[in-house]
Amino acid sequence: MLFSVAADSYEWAVREIRGEFGREVRIERVSGDLGRIVDGGPAVGDLAAACDAGRIVFIRHLTTEIAGFEELPPDYELADLVLSALPDYPKALAVQAWTDGAGTGGSYYHRLEQALTERGVSVTRSGQEVVVSCFVGRRAVLLGLNRRADSLSDWPGGRMRLARAEERVSRSEFKLEEAIATFGLELPPGGKAVDLGASPGGWTRILRQHGQEVWSVDPGSLDERLRRDRGIHHAATTAGRFFAENRVRFDVVVNDMRMDQVMSARMMVDAAAHLRRGGLAIVTLKGGGKNPLDGARRGIDVLRQQYDVLHARQLHHNRNEITVVARKV
């Protein structure tokens, strides 16, 4: 089984896997951001379930390896390899290719697309029940297969690429967009949301796109384009002062503030008193330090005082952060 990670989180992912499934699990590093479970590991569905539940946070993408080459074989052999590994002849497959560098793997995608299309299989980049993964490394090209439900991400290697549209307020928007898409989150139509540490308003803008009326809490200013939106209420104060005076009951609370994991989690616990039962909470726990895994775990334990933790994962746009999604109990 192959798993992708952020390059500087590889050792933490290995520690998590062995902590969950036993120290006898044999793991080897394939490249900077790819590892292989060689022996003694779980079934891919069990590993995916542990990741989805937030017990393993540093893995981004999973696939079951079916072949490896120094370079791709002829198209007819490629198609045979993929189709023979499936129990039924598919009508459609998703193909995802990526490299261990900055490249997109586009030429490898097109090779696989052509090989499978010639066999009558419709090929897309995402959205299918079965995913063909193609990792292009410096020494080998690896092929994998997995159900989309167990792949963790519907993007190559878990690397979600989002367009840099002109209306974007900040890069931080990518983090919230990725969380909503990856975890399939549905925000309540016409809901009320509070964005803690909102300035300059990136997460506020995404919440508005998802139909929320937003209270943006931050002493700093919001982007001018957001200040003209009547569905946004800027509270130019700290979170503590805001909650001391607030009388609104919210459906969603989000927090992307730069602070210690436990402090961020405690702020979310305070926010729970202003959240409806069953309300959604999304927070990024900042990494750093000698042991980011234990720091994240301490933050998650604090959140569990008031929330059911639904997901916790280091997403592609997180850098050294963990995105946690929780629901108020």
At the fourth CATH level, the homologous superfamily of domain 173-328 is Vaccinia Virus protein VP39 (3.40.50.150)
Q: Quick one: which of 277, 329, 282, 274 has its CA closest to 305?
A: 329
Residues 252, 196 contacting (CB under 8 angstroms): no
Q: Residue 95: which region, alpha, beta or left (left: phi > 0; alpha: psi -120 to 50)?
A: beta
Query: What pLDDT is stored for residue 320 in this prediction?
Result: 86
Preceding peptide of 219 cis, ω within 30°: no
Query: What pLDDT is stored for residue 102 in this prediction?
Result: 66
CB atoms within 10 A of CB 102: 5
The tokens for 233 are 């209420």
Classified by CATH at the fold level, domain 2-158 comes out as VC0802-like (3.30.2130)
DSSP single-letter state for residue 249: P
- Give the helix, strand, coil percentages of the chain, each rounded to 5: 35, 30, 40
Helix (H) or strand (E) holding 38: strand 34-39
**C-alpha separations of 150 from 49, 51, 96, 153, 218 in Å:** 8, 9, 15, 8, 38
Q: Measure CA of the first residue to CA of the last residue in the chain; give whole Å.
A: 36
Q: Quick one: which of 95, 126, 100 has its CA closest to 110?
A: 95
pLDDT tens-digit profile, the chain (329 residues): 999 999 999 999 999 999 999 999 999 999 999 999 999 999 999 999 999 999 999 999 999 999 999 988 898 999 999 999 999 999 999 999 999 876 678 899 999 999 999 999 999 999 999 999 999 998 899 999 999 999 999 999 999 988 777 788 899 999 999 999 999 999 999 999 999 999 999 999 999 999 999 999 999 999 999 999 999 999 999 999 999 999 999 999 999 999 999 999 999 999 999 999 999 999 999 976 677 888 899 999 999 999 999 999 999 999 889 999 999 99
DSSP 53-102: TTSS-S--EEEEEEEEESS---HHHHHHHHHHTSSS--SEEEEEEEESSS
269 vs 254: CA distance, rounded Å: 12
The tokens for 1 are 């089984």
171 vs 46: CA distance, rounded Å: 34
**C-alpha separations of 108 from 5, 116, 211 in Å:** 21, 12, 39
DSSP single-letter state for residue 223: P
Query: What pLDDT is stored for residue 227 in this prediction?
Result: 93
CB atoms within 10 A of CB 78: 23
What is the chain's length? 329
Query: What pLDDT is stored for residue 24 in this prediction?
Result: 96
The tokens for 287 are 């990494």
The domain limits of the chain are 2-158, 173-328
